[in-house]
Amino acid sequence: MQDVLSMTYLWLKAGHIIFVVFWMAGLFMLPRQMIYCLDTAPGSAEEAKWAHRMGKLRSIILTPSLIVVWILGIALAAAIGAWSEPWLHAKLAIVLALSGYHGWMVAQAKKMGRGERPLSEKQLRMWGEVPGIALALIVVLVVVRPF
């Protein structure tokens, strides 16, 4: 029985890591696509192409990956009984903030798809660094478990 539980944990962990990679890739790509969209004229065919690409990124990669990451992450925490661990609380706070960032960036991308320009190129470049910083903090919390 212990072997079955051990294998289930490993599959959950593998799935969680895979979908975190997909989610992070999408979060890195979205601001870049938004920067490309900035260079197009509102209402142009090229803007429509970028809006379509951003929509596909959101619907095929970003949102499904976010959902799977949360489901598998909760399952992993339950499997190892980590709910009282301070490192997990810190990780969950960062993942919750990153989920909020995801939602905010999706809203900004939808505005851009409608011809609005809510963020400048410089702002998009700066906001594009958020996933990398969050990822580094999360990896340290999970691997090192500093507290």
Mean pLDDT computed over 59-75: 97
Whether pLDDT at 41 is above 60: yes
Binding residues are 16, 91
Contacts of 129 (CB under 8 A, 6+ apart): none
Residues 14, 142: Cα–Cα separation, whole Å: 14
Q: Which residues are within 8 A (CB) of 62 and not within 5 positions of it... i.e. 6 or more apart?
A: 23, 26, 27, 30, 102, 106
CA distance 46 to 32: 15
Please report the pLDDT score of residue 3 as a whole number: 73
Q: How many Cα atoms sit within 13 Å of 85 on the Cβ side? A: 16
* Segments forming the whole domain that contains residue 37: 2-143
Residue 77 is which amino acid?
A: A
Annotated binding site for heme: 16, 91
Check pLDDT > 90 for residue 4. no
Task: Name 2's Cβ contacts closer than 8 Å, sequence gap at least 6.
Answer: none
| Residue-level pLDDT at 15 | 98
Q: Where does the chain have alpha helices with state H?
A: 2-38, 45-56, 63-80, 86-113, 121-127, 130-143
Q: pLDDT at position 54, please?
A: 97
* Count of structural domains within the chain: 1
Residue 7 clears pLDDT 90, i.e. is over it: no
**One-letter amino acid for residue 28 of the chain:** F
